[in-house]
Amino acid sequence: MSKIIALVEHRQGSIKDITFEILTMGRKIAQPKGLKLTAVLLGFNTASSADILKPWADRVLVADHEMFKNFNAETYQLTLAALLKQENPRLVMIGHSLCGADLAPALATELSIPFTTDCLGVEITDETLKVVRQVYDGKLNARLTMRNSSTHLITLRSGSCPVEPSNLNGVIEKFEPGITAPEYRRFVEYIEAVVGDVDITRADVVVGIGRGIKEQANMAMIEDFAKTINGVVACSRPVV
């Protein structure tokens, strides 16, 4: 049966939010077309993560190996290329993140399949795939038709699909990666970026200011307003 494959992105044992956005959109695309949604998890000590993913996909494919403890695009590419040749999915979805931007182009090139980055929306038709992405510095949304292929690959922009609860009951299947980690590229160290008092990427409401604020004295009014609506304050670079 035809299927959609979504790659699970994780860091330091936690599944990234973009994964649930991908799985939400994947489910919306798959169900009307009678397709099955498969989540692919490459990681180490993955039991708890696999259980978390069960309600989000019809099937959870897991490769549990120490070489997947930290992201390495070369290791992922070798593993996924072999897996996708075997699975032959209709669509492969990867988050448009630093990891996805590193992995997806090389994977598409190796498999010689159509590839579109930074998508906001996806539609599967009987003949091909249609995607929505921004052009002209985000001034326009373009609806593009990809060339015919048995498999297409996209990266999905974070925030383009609100996460919706899922009640699927995915079957967890393990598979052996069947590769050796490449020696020419290896993980050295993960350094956590310094975050200020507020992480605006996790805020539900953000009050943005720019040059119009004019002077520091006006900040108190903005901060009071943000506090009243349970929001946080963010600014453009010149204000910093």
| Confidence check: pLDDT of 205 > 70 | yes
pLDDT band of 1, cuts 50, 70, 90: low
- How does the average pLDDT of the chain come out, rounded? 91
Tell me what the mean pLDDT of segment 102-113 comes to.
96
Tell me what the mean pLDDT of segment 49-76 comes to.
95
The whole-number pLDDT of residue 195 equals: 66
pLDDT band of 182, cuts 50, 70, 90: confident
Domains (range + CATH), the chain: 3-174 (3.40.50.620), 200-239 (no CATH)
pTM over the 0.85 mark? no
pLDDT band of 234, cuts 50, 70, 90: confident
Q: pLDDT higher for 190 or 66?
A: 66
What's the pLDDT tens digit per position in 126-165? 778 999 999 998 899 999 999 999 999 999 999 999 999 9
DSSP assignment string, the chain? --EEEEE--EETTEE-HHHHHHHHHHHHHHHHHTPEEEEEEEESS-HHHHHHHGGG-SEEEEEE-GGGSS--HHHHHHHHHHHHHHH--SEEEEESSHHHHHHHHHHHHHHT--EEEEESEEEE-SS-EEEEEEETTTTEEEEEEPPP-S-EEEEE-TTSS--------PEEEE--------TTS------PPP--S--GGG-S-EEEE-GGG-SGGGHHHHHHHHHHTT-EEEE-GGG-
CB half-sphere exposure, 176, CA atoms < 13 A: 3
Q: pLDDT higher for 85 or 188?
A: 85
